[in-house]
Every structure is written in structure tokens, then in C-alpha cells.
Amino acid sequence: MNLISGGVCAAQGYTASGVHCGIRKNRTKRDLALIYSEVPAACAAVYTQNKVKGAPLAVTRDHLTDGRAQAVICNSGNANTCNANGTEIAEGTCALLADALHISPSDVVVASTGVIGEQMDLGPFRNGIPELARTLSREGNSFAAEGIMTTDTVRKEVAVEFELGGKTCRLGGMAKGSGMIHPNLATMLVFLTTDAAVSADMLQKALSRDVQETFNMTSVDGDTSTNDMVVLMANGLAGNQEILEDGEDFAIFMKALNTVTVQLCRLIAGDGEGATKLLECIVKGARDHETAKTVSKSVICSSLTKAAMFGADANWGRVLCAIGYSGAEVDVNAIDVSFRSRAGEIEVCRMGSGVPFSEEKAREILLEKEIDILVTLHEGDGEATAWGCDLTYDYVKINGDYRT
């Protein structure tokens, strides 16, 4: 399993592009992205559980009833959510793209991200889609990754190469996510492509399993977006025997998928709105896996813990507090906590009580950009990891005038 470059264009048969079409006022920012497979692909998706959903989600869900897709189009700057004409805009976008690419509108996945409740029309899409289609290329992955960014400060792209039945396969992805990150059975916007041959049913199985351990374990601010969606396409051009059931090949594919999604989780959490640090909470020794997940997610969601990490304050009591209200069944007198970064590791709590430690050394560790919060529960073999970020002054600044 090797990390490679190329993002969504790493796999055979995929091209991508990104342009400015006029949705965003800043003409230097791309606001429309396209991923295209030269052949129809099996496709699976998961969606936000927020009851308020963007119109593109309903349109995409309808288009994927046959488990097939050939193109993904996504705009930034306007979420197309809570708009009276939202479905009309989403369906119209698909029709315009289908005409430009000479494919069926039902083979188009459509997504949007940006401000909720802002009026929208098809004008920018009419202007931008011809150029979007014309500039498709194998090198267009980074332009597409830019086109889906909102408050993101960096592109988020990952790809891996692996083997199935003697055939070299690739799987790549791109994501956007900086704020409103607290998924519930889905995630922020993530688009994944592979040239492996996998049936639509097995793609759905793989994706639904994976998000439980990756994107659902990621939180920036506790807000579940209205437009969260993960899409996974498989066009089969690698030539492996199609994966139709559980087995060794499916396990290898799951590992490849997980390698990409874990890296995207880290990129998303580390680029949280206003964030200066990536937090990774690793829980071991839980009575079971679900307990470990509950504990790790509670810690990285704790506003007080996040604020302490921003201030490089080794306030381990906030970690225990988050564990205590998590709802998990734990022995509070058997909890160990340590903080770790490339500057070292320091134990701050043993068996539920504080231990003497150097505040100076702890601060040195917590001043790093990536911090591990290590929790051991001493009750079993359950393990889990969750990803988050620190809580800074800039988060409030960004969201205090996000719309205006």
C-alpha cells in the first residue's frame, strides 16, 4: 500500500477540472469543480443525517438508485439549501453538465457547499460548465480540489496504489471541510475515485463501514452540516476480477479505502476553522470498541479541552471531565492520560489521579502542531481514534461574519 500523488485523478480513466464561474465574488477563487470517468462507474454515497438537507443530496440520492454515475459536479460559495428553487437548480446543473459531456443527467452526482439560504440561479453554471468540461485533464485534480474549498486554507488530496489479484489498482480522494464538521453517519464533502472493479453493493458496504471509523470520528465544532456527503466511484479499468462479496480482495480494498480516508480526516481536522493544531485522541484498554469510540469522540469534542490545547495548557482534568460525561461505562479510578507530540510524551494522570509532571515540558509538547491525547482505561482490549482541532479566537472571528 503506497501513498502516491494525483488525488481523484490517480486512478485510471479519471479527469478533473476547476474554474471560477461567478458564484463567489472573488474571481481569484475557483468555485466549480468536476470529476469525470471516461466510462460509467459503480457508485455509492452516504449523506448527512441533519433533517435540513441541501437540495443536491436529494437529487444525487435519486440519481444513484441504479448504483451508477459518470461525473461529479460541485460548487462552492452557495450551499443550495433552504431555497425554494433548490431542486430546480440541482437538476438544471446536472442537465447542463450532461449536455456538455454527452452523458445522461441521471449519471451526474451533484453537490454544493457554502452559505445556507442564499438565493441561487443557473446563470453561473451556464457560464462555467462549458469551460469546466473543456479543461478536463489528468492534471486537473488540484484545480478541482480548489473548486470545492470554502473556509479551507489548504487543498485536501490523498491517493494510494495497491494490488488486487495481480492487478495494480489506485484509489484517490479529495475533501473539503473546515467548519460545520461533526458528522452523523456521513461527513463533510468527500469525493473518492478508484479504478478497481467493485460492485455498487460492495462499494456501499465498504463506504458505510469505513465512515463509522473515520469521518464519524472527526469533529471541528460540533455542528453537523446540511450538505455532508461522501461519494465513492469505481470504474473497473484496473482490470481486476470484480469484487462481489466479502473475502481477501474486499479486505485489501477496505484497507486502501481506510488509508485514504484516515489521511483526509487528519487534513480536515488539522484545517479546522481558525485551528492551529491537529488533535488525535487515541483510546486503548476500553471494555469494547464502542466504548473506546464514545470516549475518544467526547474528548476531541470538548470545547474546554480544545481551548486548553490552543493555550498549550496541560489541563488534563478537562480530558477526564469529557470522559465522565461521555455516557460511556468506565471506571474513573482506572484512567491514565498522557500528552504526546514530536517534542516528547508526558504522563499527567494515572489511575484517575494527577501525577507530578513538569509544566515546562508539558507546554513544550503542547506547542507543537500535532498533539496526541493518549487515554488508557485498563478495562479490556477496545481501541479507537478520533480527530479534532484546537478552539481559537479566529474560529469566532470567521463565523461571526461568515455570511457578510
| Helix/strand/coil for 112 | strand
What is the Cα 118 distance to its own chain's centre? 24
Which long-range CB contacts under 8 A does 320-329 form with residues at least 24 apart? 320/349, 320/352, 322/298, 323/295, 323/298, 323/299, 323/375, 325/298, 326/294, 326/295, 326/297, 326/298, 326/299, 327/294, 327/298, 328/286, 328/291, 328/294, 328/295, 328/298, 329/287, 329/291
187 assigned to active site: yes
And the C-alpha cell for 387?
480527530
Catalytic position from the list 93, 113, 151, 187: 187
In three-state form (DSSP H/G/I as H, E/B as E, the rest C), the secondary structure along 357-373 is: CCHHHHHHHHCCCEEEE
Q: For the range 25-32, what are the long-range contacts, defined as Cβ-Cβ under 8 Å and sequence gap of 24 or more?
A: 29/76, 29/146, 29/149, 30/76, 30/143, 30/146, 30/147, 30/149, 31/75, 31/76, 31/77, 31/124, 31/128, 31/147, 32/73, 32/74, 32/75, 32/76, 32/124, 32/125, 32/128, 32/129, 32/132, 32/147
Distance CA 305, CA 48 (A): 26
Query: How far is the C-alpha of 98 from the C-alpha of 40, rounded, in Å?
Result: 13
Cell (9 digits) for 106: 441521471
The answer to whether the beta carbons of residues 147 and 179 sit under 8 Å apart is no
Catalytic residue ranges = 187
